Every structure is written in C-alpha cells, then in structure tokens.
Structure 1
Amino acid sequence: MPYITFLFPGQGSQKIGMGKDFFENSSLAKELFEAASDRLKIDFTKLLFEENDRINETAYTQPAIMLVSLTALKLFQSHSNITPQYALGHSLGEFGAVASVGALGSIDAIELVHYRGKFMSEAAKDANGGMMVVMGLSDEEVEQICAKARDEGKKVWPANYNSDGQIVVAGLKADLMSLEGVFKDAGAKRALLLNMSVASHCPLMEPARKPLQEYLEQFLQDSFAAPVISNVTAAPYKTKNEAIELLSRQLVEPVHYKQSIQNIENETDIFIEFGEGNVLKGLNRRITKKPTICISNMKSLEDALEVINK
C-alpha cells in the first residue's frame, strides 16, 4: 500500500455547482449536505448550486468549501480504510486535514469554519485589507520589499508561500497597490491584487484569534489518527493543545505550503486532494515530482480508488 498524504484546499477554490455531482449521485453526500444545512441554518444546495453572491462572502465561502471537501473525503473513506501518512491543508484547508484524522467531527468542522469566516470578516471591518499575488520573485526578494515597506510605515506582509516564484502578500489595500510597481521593477512577472476583502495570515487578523481559540477548545478532540502538518511551522502536530495554538496562529502568520510539501515528500508516494478546483494539484506540480490526485466528483473518486488499489 502506498504512503498517502491527504490535502485540503482553501479559499479561492469555490465555484457555483461544486459538489453537485456528489449530491445527485450519493445518499451519503445528501445526508452530509442536510446535516450541515440543519446545523448552520444555511441551505447549502442553494448556496452551492444556484447563482448567488454569498458564495464569495468569507463566512459562507469557508463552510461551503469545507462541506465539499469533507463530502469527497467521506465518500473516499466509504470505499477505503486508508489512514494517511500525513494530512495538511492550505489555510482553511488545515481544518479539513484535522477532521480527516478524526480530531474534528465533519459537521463540527463545517460550523467551526463558518465562525472562523465571521471572525475574519469582523476583523477586516476595521481595516481596508486585501491580498496580492506576486509571481516571478524569490521568497527573499518579496520579504525584503515587504520589510522595507513596513519600515516606511506601510502594513504589508508575506502571507502564502505557495511555490517557488509564487507568493501572496497581505496587508492594507492602499499599501499593497503602492507596491505593485516596486515588485515589477524588482523583476516580478506579475503583481496582481486579488478579489478579496480580507487580509488573511497577517497581523491585521489579530482580533479574530481569541474568539477562534474559544471555539477550537470547544470543538477539537484529542484523538489524531495521523499527524497534521501545520501551515505555521511546516512541521507535524498530533495533540489538541498544539492544534488550538497553531490553528489560531495561522490567522496572523504566513501559510508555508511549499515548505510543508517539501518536508514530507520523501515520506509520501501519492497526494490526494479532496475538493474543488485542482488548486493544490497545480501548486504541487511546481513543488514535487510525486503525483497528486484530486477528488472533486464521482468519476474522479472512481479514478482515485483505482490508482490506490492497484
């Protein structure tokens, strides 16, 4: 049996129609959708399958993505009893990783990230924050430009280390826009402001930390079937206390996705991404030669099971 690492995508992978194939072809998926809708008092079939604006609001985006990812996971687990070597996620996805190893119930995870989204939105009200993707510069070059800008009184920080030559920077929108030319003068192929109203993974999210910790204490269980790789440290953890600290620190510190994959690729034969978009599969192509399979509908589930059971 190959060594498998479970992956869970974060915000930005959402789209109308995601999860519909699961819902229409699986009673297990329908049960999960209904249970999540009942618990959160949100009609997830309307949120996910009908045109609406709420799908891009953080408090709704996060549980929507989590529901689809955990539906894919549950369907996979209904056909396979594999315990992963590791589990990890990108930002929001780390909560899916924790759920996948048994330390967080599925519906609890969906409710928890709904609160996380609310806390992040509330923190964002006090600052006109945003995020910018920078392509074509080294980590060190982006870090130096951000540090110099902070010395000048600007509020900008590296937020997502996605792959070599791709970093997302977070901070005040005006400060980010003022750096667009600076990044390009330094040789960036692209410096593009993303369509986001929340400056994730930087100190602007500090007001969200304490309320999130309280809910983590309430929802998390001290029962990890496998280690989870922390976005903050790019190292494994396996206890409730570590999870409370690291999942709350994740709000205000950068996501070390690239480093996380690099740290475990020698102990992994196959990565399986659960959820919409192939986002992490795309990043992994630039980080590792190990294959990544994405489960986003019934056909891709069948394909993944065939690969695993070879």
Structure 2
Amino acid sequence: MSCALIFPGQGSQSLGMGKDFYENSPKAKALLDEASEYSKIDFKRLLFTQNDDLNKSEFTQPAIVLTSLMAYVALLERKPDFRHSFTLGHSLGEFSALAVNGAFDFLEAIILVHRRGIYMQEDCAKIEAGMMVILGLSDEVVQNLCELAKVEGKSIFAANYNCDGQIVVAGLKAHLLEYEAKFKEAGAKRAMLLNMSVASHCPLLNEASNKLSRELESVLKPSFLPVISNVSAKPYENKSEALTLLKAQLVSPVLYKQSILNTQNEVNYFVEFGASILKGLNKKITQKETYALTNLGEIDEFLKAIQ
C-alpha cells in the first residue's frame, strides 16, 4: 500500500513533545543530541523543561522539525524497510518533508529553520503583525474581504487554507482587529487572533524570504524525492524548483487543503509525524485514514494496522 508522510508546522509545539522518542529510541536520542551540539541549542531543556523559549519562532521552528524527524527515525528503527510515495508539510512542515526526502541533511534542516524563525521575527519586529483564524466562511468570501481590505489600504492576506470553513489570515494586528467584525458580519462563526507575533505567508515577510533564499542556495541537493509544494499544491523534486517555490513559500498562502485533495487518490493513507494537528484537519478534507505518530506506542499501533 502507498502512503504520504505529512509534517506539522508552527502551532503544534507543546512541552514534552518527543520525550518518549528521546527516552526509548536510540536513534531519536542520538538525533536530538547531535542537533543540540550542531546548532548550540539545548533541545533537552527546550523540549522537556518549563521555559519561555519554546513559543519563540526562532526556537519553536527547530523544535517542531526536530520532533518530527525524531518520530520518523523512530519509525525506521522499528521498520527499516518502511517506504512512502511522497511527503508534504504544513508551512514549516515542508522543511521536515524536504529533509526526509533528501533535499538537505537533517542537521542542516534544524539550522535552516532556526534562521527562518529569526528572519521572520526580525521582519515582524518592525511592525505589530499577527494572524487570525476564520471559521465558517468559504474561501471566496474570505478572499473577497482580503481584497476589500487591500482597496482600503489595509494589510490582510489569506495565509493558510486549512480545510473547508477554516482559513487563517495574516497581516497587521490593528487591521485584523478592525476586520474582525466584518468577518463576523459575513457569517463567520469565529474570527479569533492567534497567539502569534509573526504574519506568516504574506508579503510582510519579503525580507525574510530573500534571506532564507540565500541560505537555501548552499544546502539544497541537486535532486530529491517528490515533495508537495505549499505554494502550488503540486510535486517538485530538484534544487531549481525548490529555490523558486521556497522563496515564494514565506510570502504566499499555504495550500494545505488543496494539497491533500490533489494527492488523496494516489495513496492509501497519510502518516503525520510528531503531532496530531494535521490528522484533525485531514478528517475534514479526505476520507483516507491519517495516522499520527507522537510516541512509540502509536508507532507500534500503526505498524500493526498496516500489516
């Protein structure tokens, strides 16, 4: 049976994530220890002890990618011959997907997303940026309201197409708050600011996109196994395509829903690594099964299920 591997993005972090892998999977433990040494980030402290850094983008991003990769190596430790058709990720998760499919080394991925978080924070430190989840409106209605905001000189952009009836918009926090009532008047069940200090996947991150593009140039391999792009919802598998698509990724909306719909007929199931956020979204998008692997018990249950 064929499957696609899916990887969560920022917002999936939680204290203690990856601990079961660290304590019970030698390969996962080795990966965390190597990542700590390579990046000079104390991941044991960051992931397993109370701290204020886990929710800061520059640390959140490498923590999530590392946890996803620990889950992946723990699975391979149990089943070395496990194979997949392609990978995809939600926002930040696209970098986990790229690492697993050989676009760059695991440790390079950790450093890359650490810098990605710094660049995003730097861009948004100059402005009061934010993100807002909109529930209960169609894509078209949200897009029309974003266009209206643009005409009015306001910065509000569709950022994440998560599933039908759930879109995240990004922009200046003051403009988002101004439009909260407009979203509700249009029929939104909810329009709620998220606990984010960055405005991901919109033009406010142009400088971060340019900086990240320069980083990618030096680490991307010439070719790799297919990865589904957040920007196009289609596969790509070489450095040239990756440089174009990943430069655009920070300033373009995440087409997650579209990616699942485009690929669901090519696989029997999806497997999420390190969290269960995407499993919840997938239930609203596709009838195909999604397995979430957040500890070794879930890996064992998954392997029994696919026998």
Q: TM-score, normalised by structure 2?
A: 0.98
Determine the structure 2 residue equivalent to 1:81: 81
**Equivalent residue for 1:284, pick from 279, 282, 285:** 282
Q: Partner amino acid for 2:62?
A: P
TM-fit CA distance, 1:301: 1.1
Deviation readout 1:182-214 (Å, 9 max, x if unpaired)? 000110000000000000000000010121011
1:271 partnered with 2:245: no
Cα distance in 1 for partners of 2:164, 2:51 equals 35
Determine the structure 2 residue equivalent to 1:28: 27
Q: Partner amino acid for 2:253?
A: P
1:120/1:205 contact within 8 Å kept = yes
TM-fit CA distance, 1:303: 1.2
Alignment of 1:51-66 (within 5 A): 51-66=50-65
Cα distance in 2 for partners of 1:26, 1:256 equals 34
1:156/1:171 contact within 8 Å kept = yes
Determine the structure 1 residue equivalent to 2:255: 256
Alignment of 1:144-293 (within 5 A): 144-224=144-224, 226-276=225-275, 278-293=276-291
1:135/1:188 contact within 8 Å kept = yes
- Aligned-residue RMSD, C-alpha: 0.9
Q: Partner amino acid for 1:4?
A: C
Cα distance in 2 for partners of 1:223, 1:73 equals 21
TM-fit CA distance, 1:99: 0.9
Cα distance in 1 for partners of 2:274, 2:30 equals 17
Determine the structure 2 residue equivalent to 1:305: 303
Deviation readout 1:114-135 (Å, 9 max, x if unpaired)? 0110111111112211000000
Q: Partner amino acid for 1:228?
A: V
Q: Partner amino acid for 1:280?
A: L
Unaligned runs of 5+ in 1: none
Cα distance in 2 for partners of 1:213, 1:203 equals 15
Cα distance in 1 for partners of 2:116, 2:227 equals 19
Determine the structure 2 residue equivalent to 1:50: 49
Determine the structure 2 residue equivalent to 1:5: 4
Q: Partner amino acid for 1:240?
A: K
TM-fit CA distance, 1:76: 1.4
TM-fit CA distance, 1:83: 3.1
Cα distance in 1 for partners of 2:305, 2:2 equals 13
TM-fit CA distance, 1:222: 2.0
Q: Partner amino acid for 1:220?
A: L
Aligned residue for 1:195, secondary structure, equals coil
1:131 partnered with 2:126: no
1:127/1:204 contact within 8 Å kept = no
TM-fit CA distance, 1:102: 1.4
How many residue pairs get aligned? The number is 306
Question: Sequence identity, in percent?
Answer: 53
TM-fit CA distance, 1:307: 2.1
Q: TM-score, normalised by structure 1?
A: 0.97
Q: Write out the 4+ residue segments of structure 1 that deviate beyond 4 Å after TM superposition.
A: none
Deviation readout 1:9-31 (Å, 9 max, x if unpaired)? 00000010000111111221111
Q: Partner amino acid for 2:258?
A: Q
TM-fit CA distance, 1:223: 3.1
Cα distance in 1 for partners of 2:198, 2:142 equals 20
Q: Partner amino acid for 1:218?
A: S
TM-fit CA distance, 1:73: 0.8
TM-fit CA distance, 1:305: 1.7
Deviation readout 1:128-187 (Å, 9 max, x if unpaired)? 110000000000000001100110010000000000000000000000000111000110
Aligned residue for 1:6, secondary structure, equals strand
1:131/1:169 contact within 8 Å kept = yes
TM-fit CA distance, 1:220: 1.3
Cα distance in 2 for partners of 1:102, 1:80 equals 16
Cα distance in 2 for partners of 1:8, 1:238 equals 17
Determine the structure 1 residue equivalent to 2:293: 295
Determine the structure 1 residue equivalent to 2:103: 103
Cα distance in 2 for partners of 1:207, 1:115 equals 13
Cα distance in 2 for partners of 1:307, 1:228 equals 25
Q: Partner amino acid for 2:256?
A: Y
